[in-house]
Structure 1
Amino acid sequence: MARMTCEFFSEALTKQTTMMVVLPDKPLKNEDGTIKPYPTLYLLHGFSDDHSMWTRQTSVERYANERGLAVVMPDVDHSFYTDMRYGKKYWTFLTEEVPNKARFFFPLSDRREDNFVAGLSMGGYGAFKWLLNQPDQFAAGASLSGVLDLANHEQVDQGDNPKNQSVFNAFGGENLVGTSHDIFHLAKQVDQLAGLKPKLYHACGTEDFLFDHNVRFKELTDTLSLDIETIFDPGEHEWGYWDHHIKQVINWLPIQ
């Protein structure tokens, strides 16, 4: 793989920002010998991480290279992948600028069947939020240890818990139930759509402090017709678990 730290100006954020991009070490070719763009996984980080952590803590480069998959990892700070009430427009940055910039700078496919999204913890929430808000953009997506029931998370504007403070900064105390920020609501909406629907991979460790979030999401999806693979296996909220499962996710992706 080739690994690049791409620094660029974001119109949505009105500042310089960064994404990590890894590309396979061999070009993909069409039958006529022309080079074709790479299928792409947009891989989202957790609350305590940045754009670099997936490559620092897992073997995602090796797993992706084996399947000829490019990986794009943007930095979104503590935004919870939203246009923050008190902060930057990270939802616009993620869903509009990142794909456009990445495809401008690198040979990445824009076809739905070649695009996927995944993430861990806060990034698991972001991955399903993006996938379910824009199911026409992705063939599949995965959440690992995701903060999936964020809509029922108590938002506070002060105190000692930086995550609570960041949730408040992102959403401003808004009731998220039934909105575009509510993963449960979005899953029910996508279930009712006609036509193609993305595949979902949903994993969480049984010792993870977010396990209850994920159990509640499974209880919902058990009542829906979505194509979802759910795995609850022994594990905590840590990189050994995510390294194992990102390998499983990459092998599971319907790469053509």
Structure 2
Amino acid sequence: MNKARAFRPLRVFWLFLVVFFSAPAWAFQTKIVSIPSAAMHRAFDATVVLPADYGRGNGTTRYPVVYVLHGSGGNYADWTSNTQIGKLADRYHVILVMPDGGHESWYIDSPFDQASRYETYIGTEVVSWIDTHFRTIATRQTRAITGLSMGGFGALRIALDRQDTFGAAGSISGAVDPRNSEDEPGIDRVFGNPAHHADFWTRNAIVEDASNFEHAHIALTIDCGVSDFFVQSNRTLHEKLIALGVPHDYAERPGGHTWTYWSNSIRYQVLFFATAFHQNGWHGPAHLA
């Protein structure tokens, strides 16, 4: 009998044990939850990612929360389907929440469509539900919101309108001037006819509302790809914030309006938020000190 062959199963068994016990015992948890809206009389799905250590210990540790909004035509599953965003929950020990904002809601409470109350839903109802059902640190200092494209606009709009709720905000390839998106199918349903309601379009454009960041004390990060069709409006917003003396991070990187760009950008934004949380007194990962 070949001794080497006889002992091979034993060596395989020990190799299995070494690999099993050296691999991480925990990983981030992804949950799909249904969050009701009293404002819109229905419920919407949302993706929640919990860091690996959420389930460890005695279950009393609380975590900061980063809300991440999808773009036009998207839904609550976009970020987890197209990126590895879940790993960021583990890396920075934060809860990530990706709510559903409708296909073309622009995350506003529309005066033209009484059934579209997405700013109230995301900015108030979702936040309250998450704080009730998960172990969050329910303060503005440990709560951030960001998003891509339409979601970038929505994140900044919601943060400006709810400064007591969000202490940090970001925009990735943000449509910070919706007047550049008049041809977007369905946008006039929530913003109204641009010819008849130009004042509403202008009043809600982030580039025209930059001065409200001056006293908001929001940790702010904005980025856009150099080949993105929204890059000029993002530059305009950046220049206005500089002129106003508003502290903010601004970056342009190679890339366009694509998931390749967004999946890279979100890594920088969540790091920015985790650092802001730490500066506000959250005792998270030591390497953020």
Same topology, TM > 0.5: yes
Shorter chain as denominator, the TM-score bin is 0.7 to 0.9
Is 2:156 the counterpart of 1:128? yes
- Checking the alignment, whether the CA contact within 8 Å between 2:191 and 2:201 is kept in structure 1 is no
Equivalents in 1 of 2:155, 2:258: separation in Å?
18
Query: CA deviation digits over 1:11-46, x for unaligned, max 9?
Result: 1111121111111111399xxx88232100011000
1:237 aligns with one of 257, 267, 272: 257
What are the within-5 Å matches in structure 2 for residues 205-220 of structure 1? 205-220=225-240
- Checking the alignment, whether the CA contact within 8 Å between 2:168 and 2:218 is kept in structure 1 is yes
TM superposition shift of 1:176: 2.6
Runs of 4+ in 1 over 6 A off after TM superposition: none
Q: One-letter code of the match for 2:123?
A: T
Structure number having the greater helix percentage: 2
- Higher-Rg structure is 2
Give the match's secondary structure for 2:200: coil
TM superposition shift of 1:154: 6.6
What TM-score, normalized to structure 2?
0.78
Q: One-letter code of the match for 1:20?
A: T
Query: CA deviation digits over 1:89-112, x for unaligned, max 9?
Result: 111111111101111121122111
Is 2:200 the counterpart of 1:176? yes
1:26 aligns with one of 32, 50, 53: 53
Distance 1:234 1:81, change over 3 A: same
- Checking the alignment, whether the CA contact within 8 Å between 2:207 and 2:233 is kept in structure 1 is no
State the structure with bigger RCO (CA 8 A, min sep 6), 1 or 2.
Answer: 1
Residue number in structure 1 paired with 2:211: 188
Q: One-letter code of the match for 2:141?
A: E
Query: Which ranges of structure 1 fall in alignment gaps of 5 or more residues?
Result: 156-160
Distance 1:35 1:82, change over 3 A: same
Give the match's secondary structure for 1:97: helix
TM superposition shift of 1:60: 0.9
Equivalents in 2 of 1:143, 1:12: separation in Å?
25
- Checking the alignment, whether the CA contact within 8 Å between 1:177 and 1:185 is kept in structure 2 is no
TM superposition shift of 1:178: 5.7
RMSD, aligned CA: 2.1
What are the within-5 Å matches in structure 2 for residues 56-75 of structure 1? 56-75=81-100
Range 10-19 or range 53-62, more displaced: 10-19
Equivalents in 1 of 2:208, 2:231: separation in Å?
19
- Checking the alignment, whether the CA contact within 8 Å between 1:28 and 1:37 is kept in structure 2 is no
Give aligned-pair identity as a percent: 27
Residue number in structure 2 paired with 1:83: 109
Residue number in structure 2 paired with 1:119: 147
Equivalents in 1 of 2:252, 2:239: separation in Å?
13
